[in-house]
A and B are shown apart, each in its own frame.
Chain A
Amino acid sequence: MNAHDLDPLHEPRALIELVNVEKTYPGAEQPAVRDLSLAVREGEILVLVGPSGCGKSTTLRLINRMIEPTSGSIIFEGADVTNTDPNKLRRQIGYVIQQIGLFPHRTIAENIGTVPRLLKWDKKKTAARVNEMLELVGMDPSIYGPRYPRELSGGQAQRVGVARALAADPDVLLMDEPFGAIDPITRDRLQNEFLRLQAELKKTIVFVTHDIDEAVKMGDRIAILREQSIIAQIDRPEVILTDPADDFVENFLGSGAILKTLTLNRVRDLDLAPVPPVLPGASRTQALAAVEESSSGVAILLDAQEHPVRWVDRRSLDNAAKPIEQAGRSVNVMLQPEDTLQDALSAMLQTSTGMSVVVDGRGRYLGCVTIESLASLLVQTQNGAA
């Protein structure tokens, strides 16, 4: 399937287009990118993914002309920019690379202000924008603004890298394995943060990775590339996972493609099971009534801040001598609406009931999710994709 085959009426306009682009490095026999046509739609995250050496980075770098194409043309916001001033083009496009490349001799604030200053914004406007950007990525401007890059952790440096790329408010962001050099836990957090940011900013993003899991998680659409940057398949992740175009794509997805669909959906997509809360200070009789009312035979005991603390069922409430604050089992694992279904599955597998508690950002009880609701959503996804 190709992006051009889709009905143009239902397709958002393409912000960037590569038209028959080819890149052959001097002295090379084979082109690194062969006759590539690709349209990036406004507001989407398009992930370019493929084995190492397939030319995905080269493709990305062709867009802001870090690499000049041998032939073909690059259309940006409707205008052919193949032969315009590349520096002007790059100032309109955010660019984030794996090594981040913060300027070590300049403060964080100066780093973020780079493109605004290149665009000759005045100092005041730049400073205001820098503060806004730091707040956007969750860093206190008064603390981090005057610091130098070497004082940052890897995750913080990456946040600053994103803030710097967004500083001049570009419509387009190019990201070349931006989270590639970061430890898995931080990477997961940064990915989630970035998705939250993107939901707000609605930038047009081209994102390169070699990690199919990351591609599935981040992409609105995924382009799977084979050598010479030939598009093996380009589509929504759920379609690619459930209906790979050929053996190459299937091999690249690896085993457990279905399991990967777990990262496509979030806990908020699941139906909450009716597990009633028991408020603090409730009597044993009130608690028992709640358990009776519950279809699953359990209730959740909350504390004064509405944080879930214990699972209780009929048997655990039998012992009249025990205060109900000590009845049942404590709640150890909690999910938040932004967590992926993969997180949900692993949380459920840790409880004997196949259920997990969901709380909001402040830890307040929202409800429970069950393994059944997860299964039914998976079936829906596959049916919807096919």
Chain B
Amino acid sequence: MNESRASRLDLIVTPAIGLLLAVLLFVVWNYSDMDPTTERILEPANLARQLQQQLILAFWSTLLVIIVAIPLGIMVTRGGARGLKNTMVGFLGLMQAIPAYGLIVLFFVWLGQGATTVILALAAFSLLPVLRNTIVGIEQVDPSVIESGKGMGMTPVQRLARIELPLSVPVIISGIRTATVITVGMGALAFLIGGGGLGETINAGLKLNRPTAIFVGAALVALVALAFDFAGALAQRYLHPKGL
């Protein structure tokens, strides 16, 4: 949820904590006494299905966010759309103050049960980071660089494609990374409206009072989020334009 982590330790600390969690999970999985109920909840086939559901939800919602937010960000940074930009960022900011839990339930009320509902709710919640970073990324490009491109006779489209977008790639990717982590994590709430996901395991553990199941579900959700965050950090490092 925070996109300005410049720390180089990111690439070490995230996997380190992930590893710690994985070891803990391994120990609990192998050495705790599981009653039949816990074992039924933690059926590997179930877990795999839930994980798959959650990743599919995250994939489509992130894709939706990218398809919507980047063009939107480009649009509102063209001259003459300043007012629109502030209104939109303000509105989405307010929307982020809505609890994720409440938002997903409201979407359910409006759109009914189904994967589409979950995807739209996740997308709505993670639209802002990508949109904001697209705007910030484009606006932080040194005006003199754009000016010199214009002075050399680049058309507006050429300036966008060859200067503004390549120079905002790092910031935009950082926004996409944030959005991915949000959608992957929030997918755990999909169970609330019948959307599946690893939240089901946690929920079953809570309902049936099985702390081991709760822990395994929670640790898996956390590990998935950490893995995606780490992949994002790697992408940021290696997709970074050379000259910057």
State which of A86, A87, A102, A118 has its C-beta within 8 Å of the C-beta of B148: A102
Judge whether B153 and A87 touch: CB under 8 Å.
Answer: yes
Name the CB-closest residue of A to B156: A87
Judge whether B144 and A87 touch: CB under 8 Å.
Answer: no
Judge whether B163 and A103 touch: CB under 8 Å.
Answer: yes
Name the CB-closest residue of A to B144: A99
Q: Which residues of A contact B152 (CB under 8 A)?
A: 90-91, 95, 114-115, 118, 164
Judge whether A118 and B158 touch: CB under 8 Å.
Answer: yes
Cα separation A86 to B144 with both chains bound (whole Å)? 18
User: Does A4 lie at the interface of the complex (its beta carbon under 8 Å from any beta carbon of B)?
Assistant: no
Cα separation A161 to B144 with both chains bound (whole Å)? 12
User: Does A284 lie at the interface of the complex (its beta carbon under 8 Å from any beta carbon of B)?
Assistant: no
Chain A: minimal CB distance from B4 (Å): 20
Q: A66-B150, A106-B243, A150-B243 are in contact. Are A101 and B142 (CB under 8 A)?
A: yes
Q: Which residues of A contact B142 (CB under 8 A)?
A: 99, 101, 104
Cα separation A245 to B162 with both chains bound (whole Å)? 48
Judge whether A90 and B150 touch: CB under 8 Å.
Answer: yes
Interface residues of B in 10-38 (CB under 8 A from A): none
Interface residues of A in 109-143 (CB under 8 A from B): 114-115, 118
User: Does B147 lie at the interface of the complex (its beta carbon under 8 Å from any beta carbon of A)?
Assistant: yes
Judge whether B144 and A101 touch: CB under 8 Å.
Answer: yes
User: Does B242 lie at the interface of the complex (its beta carbon under 8 Å from any beta carbon of A)?
Assistant: yes
User: Does A54 lie at the interface of the complex (its beta carbon under 8 Å from any beta carbon of B)?
Assistant: no
User: Does B155 lie at the interface of the complex (its beta carbon under 8 Å from any beta carbon of A)?
Assistant: yes
Q: How large is the interface on A (under 10, 10 to 19, 20 to 34, 35 or more residues)?
A: 20 to 34
Give A49-84 as 1s and 0s: 1 = Cβ < 8 Å from B's Cβ atoms: 000000000000000101000000000000000000
Chain B: minimal CB distance from A111 (Å): 9
Chain B: minimal CB distance from A103 (Å): 6
Interface residues of B in 210-244 (CB under 8 A from A): 241-244
Chain A: minimal CB distance from B178 (Å): 23
Q: Which residues of B contact A89 (CB under 8 A)?
A: 153
Chain A: minimal CB distance from B172 (Å): 14
Chain A: minimal CB distance from B240 (Å): 10
Q: Which residues of B contact A88 (CB under 8 A)?
A: 153
Judge whether B155 and A103 touch: CB under 8 Å.
Answer: no
Judge whether A91 and B145 touch: CB under 8 Å.
Answer: no
Judge whether A95 and B243 touch: CB under 8 Å.
Answer: no
Q: A100-B144, A100-B148 are in contact. Are A91 and B243 (CB under 8 A)?
A: no
Name the CB-closest residue of B to A88: B153
Q: Which residues of A contact B153 (CB under 8 A)?
A: 86-92, 115, 118
Judge whether B148 and A97 touch: CB under 8 Å.
Answer: yes
Judge whether A97 and B243 touch: CB under 8 Å.
Answer: no
Cα separation A98 to B148 with both chains bound (whole Å)? 10
Cα separation A150 to B142 with both chains bound (whole Å)? 13
Q: Which residues of A contact B242 (CB under 8 A)?
A: 105, 148
Name the CB-closest residue of A to B151: A95
User: Does A242 lie at the interface of the complex (its beta carbon under 8 Å from any beta carbon of B)?
Assistant: no
User: Does B167 lie at the interface of the complex (its beta carbon under 8 Å from any beta carbon of A)?
Assistant: yes
User: Does A107 lie at the interface of the complex (its beta carbon under 8 Å from any beta carbon of B)?
Assistant: yes
Interface residues of A in 135-182 (CB under 8 A from B): 148-150, 161, 164, 174
Name the CB-closest residue of A to B169: A105
Judge whether A148 and B151 touch: CB under 8 Å.
Answer: no
Name the CB-closest residue of A to B158: A118
Cα separation A90 to B147 with both chains bound (whole Å)? 12
Q: Which residues of B contact A150 (CB under 8 A)?
A: 243-244
Cα separation A118 to B149 with both chains bound (whole Å)? 11
Interface residues of A in 354-374 (CB under 8 A from B): none
Cα separation A106 to B167 with both chains bound (whole Å)? 10
Q: Which residues of B contact A161 (CB under 8 A)?
A: 148
Interface centre among B144, B150, B243, by most A CB within 10 Å?
B243
Give B134-171 as 1s and 0s: 1 = Cβ < 8 Å from A's Cβ atoms: 00000000101111111111110010001100110000
State which of A101, A115, A149 has its C-beta within 8 Å of the C-beta of B243: A149
Name the CB-closest residue of B to A61: B151
Q: Which residues of B contact A103 (CB under 8 A)?
A: 145, 148-149, 162-163, 167, 243
Q: Which residues of A contact B155 (CB under 8 A)?
A: 87
State which of B145, B151, B166, B243 has its C-beta within 8 Å of the C-beta of A90: B151
Q: A107-B243, A148-B242, A149-B243 are in contact. Are A101 and B154 (CB under 8 A)?
A: no
Q: Which residues of A contact B243 (CB under 8 A)?
A: 103-107, 148-150
**A-B contact list, 11 entries, CB within 8 Å:** A92-B153, A97-B151, A101-B142, A101-B146, A102-B145, A103-B149, A104-B244, A106-B243, A107-B243, A161-B148, A164-B152
Binding site for B on A (CB under 8 A): 64, 66, 86-92, 95, 97-107, 114-115, 118, 148-150, 161, 164, 174
